[in-house]
Structure 1
Amino acid sequence: MPRRSYDQYCSVARALDTVGERWTLLIVRELLAGPRRYTDLHADLPGVSTDVLASRLKEMERDGLVTRRRLAPPGAAYVYELTPRGRELLGVLGALAEWGAPELRDPRPTDAVRAHWAAVPLMRHLAALPGVPAGVVEVRLDEGAFHIELGGGTPSYADGPAKRPDAVVALPPGAVRGITGALRDGGAEITGDGPLADALRGA
């Protein structure tokens, strides 16, 4: 099926031709954590149908945002991962997260929640802090844990605890709604002995 276009000679319109379809940017959000199997993507995108997810992934492959590859044994499963062009959308998602933060009031009864959905705004916040050294930050929320790797260019994140974090940030209940505010206002418990933990405590 041919892709619809706004048919406008404008960079905003061209970008929306590629990423403006429903679910596309949320698939990018999931793949920023690294390669994911189709079943994992489907589990962390509540509400998307299997047909729509498959269709979006094919479109994203065609547009050079995503590649599909087979894992080496014993995994032998297919995974999807972002291309360098796809990873460039981190800045777009960070800006959207900042713009949308005021809309995160009390969760609605129908809202799904995943801890790692807070990673994108937090990465943007940490990357903007002056003097924060490279390292791995583990973030613990009531909803679960994820970790962020800073330094070496673009920050990245992964779901779950870190093997050897340089700093651990434990946030109070409900902080997923305003995670950067909890860090700014002293609502986070920060542990660790190295320069990264010290920098976060002083931020």
Structure 2
Amino acid sequence: MSPRRSYDQYCSAARALDTVGDRWTLLIVRELLAGPRRYTDLHADLPGVSTDVLASRLKDMERDGLTTRRKLPPPGAAYVYELTLRGRELLPVLQALGKWGEGELGERRPTDALRAHWFALPLLRGLEGAGVQGEGFDGEGLVGEGLVEVRLQEGDFHLFVGVEGGPVYGHGPAPVEPDARLVLDMDTCTAVAQGELTVFDAVRAGRIGVSGDGALAKALREA
């Protein structure tokens, strides 16, 4: 475990960066917002990180109270890493950072890696932050609570909209029948992530197909 480095400044921003300012730390948080992950899964979804650096960051994050490590019961018997409550409180930090960085995304470079679930946070931002009116709208910028399955050619993932205290998204299809199912292409995902298109404008334009019988699906269709 590496010694903690500090800016040695009596400032809350500096103190926060003492903990999460190292390269890869916030991206590890992004991955763990999906729930418990094995080391091998984290390494696979963080292309470019070395095994030594990943192991070091995970140890530092455990020391700083952002993550815990536990062993799965048989037959799994593997160790998984997961966020603590303190770690999950970084979600709005990542969302604000993602919002700020929309203009930096630009066109995908030939060297850029891509995972479908990296669009989970931008889509969640779009669903939770828009003022759509319709059944299921709660008056505070949410289309309601529910499970949303997202289908892309590059892969499927699911979102927990308006739900606190657990995973923010998950890999693969929804584990149960979702409240809404969205089908879209990567160009539409990219436009949403860049802030050029809202989720609801994309639904209206037919660029996002919506199915499902839940109030959330109905609110999206009636946006």
Normalising by structure 1, what TM-score?
0.94
Residue correspondence of structure 1 range 45-124 to structure 2 within 5 A: 45-124=46-125
Runs (5+) with no aligned partner, structure 2: 132-136, 138-142
Q: Distance in 1 between matches of 2:189 and 2:45?
A: 16
Amino acid aligned to 1:170: V
- Counterpart of 1:178 in 2: which secondary structure? helix
Aligned alpha-carbon RMSD (Å): 1.5
Match runs of 1:150-189 below 5 Å: 150-153=161-164, 156-162=168-174, 163-179=176-192, 181=197, 183-186=199-202, 187-189=207-209
- Larger CA deviation: 142-151 vs 11-20: 142-151
Q: Distance in 1 between matches of 2:42 and 2:61?
A: 14
Deviations 1:127-150 (A, max 9, x none): 224512221101112221110112
Distance in 2, Cα, partners of 1:8 & 1:202: 51
Q: Provide closer, same or farther for how the CA distance between residues 128 and 16 of structure 1 changes in structure 2, counting only shifts above 3 A.
A: same
State the partner residue of 1:196: 216
Shift in Å, 1:106:
1.6
Which of 138, 141, 153 is 1:142 aligned to? Answer: 153
> Residues 175 and 182 of structure 1 are in contact (CA less than 8 Å); yes or no, is this contact kept in structure 2?
no
What are the Cα deviations for residues 4-34 of structure 1, in whole angstroms up to 9, with x where unaligned?
1111111100000000000000000000000
Aligned partners of 2:146 and 2:163 also within 8 Å: no
- Kindly indicate whether the alpha-carbon contact (under 8 Å) linking 2:120 and 2:159 is maintained by their aligned counterparts in 1: yes
Q: Distance in 1 between matches of 2:111 and 2:128?
A: 32
Q: Is the 8 A contact 1:171 1:182 kept in 2?
A: no
Give unpaired runs (5+ residues) of structure 1: none
In the other structure, the counterpart of 2:134 is none
Q: Note closer, same or farther for the CA distance 1:173–1:128 as it changes in structure 2 (3 Å cut).
A: closer
The answer (yes or no) to whether the contact 2:180–2:212 under 8 Å persists in 1 is yes
Shift in Å, 1:182: 5.3
CA contact 1:145–1:160 (8 Å) conserved in 2: yes
